[in-house]
Amino acid sequence: MKISPSKIISLLFFIFSAFYLYTAYQIQVFTFDEDAAFNAKTFPIYLGYAGLMFSALYIILPETKPSNVDLKVLDYKRTITLVILMILYGLTIFRAGYFLSTSIFLILSYIALGERKWIWVFILSFPFVAIFMYLLHGLLNIYLRDPFLQLIGIMG
């Protein structure tokens, strides 16, 4: 019996989603946010369950059109570069803060993926992260610790 690469990837995604869901339940929330309809745990928990559900469905249901993956044409260099960038992002987000680390991560990711139009690299990094941070911090009242923005006086 031959197992398709898609089923193996789905099984790995199922394991990753289970680990993600486990860590999502470990997120600590403020006491006044525990009974809120939306808190720091809500979206990660739903995302973990969705990952478990979709990957389990893909593993269980039969493939209608099996895919053949040619391993020789995959771009391993870019993949490894993105994985290294994600690890560095995870290591720097607490020290540099959400705004600076996410913006730099996005810029380096766009460059690693081959984007050469600097206007798009800039627009889809700093302003996009600023808008997203405003939505989280300003509208949803989800506090993100950000030493960089505190240093320049934007956040208190």
Q: Give residue-wise pLDDT tens across range 23-60.
A: 988 888 777 667 777 777 888 999 999 999 999 999 99
Cα 24 from Cα 119, distance rounded (Å): 36
Q: Which of 75, 77, 57, 70 is nearest to 17 (CA)?
A: 57
- The whole-number pLDDT of residue 69 equals 66
What range defines the domain where residue 98 resides?
75-156
Instruction: Output the pLDDT for position 27.
Output: 83
Query: Do 89 and 42 belong to one domain?
Result: no
Task: Identify whether the C-beta of residue 81 lies closer than 8 Å to the C-beta of residue 112.
Answer: yes
User: Are both 41 and 103 inside the same structural domain?
Assistant: no
Same domain, 86 and 65: no
Q: What share of the chain is helix, strand, coil (3-state, %, to 5)?
A: 65, 0, 35
Q: What is the pLDDT of residues 98-149, one digit of tens each?
A: 888 999 999 999 999 988 898 989 888 989 888 988 888 778 777 777 777 7
Do 83 and 140 belong together in one domain?
Answer: yes
Residues 81 and 59 in one domain: no
For the chain, the domain total comes to 2
Report the Cα 127 to chain-centroid distance in Å: 18
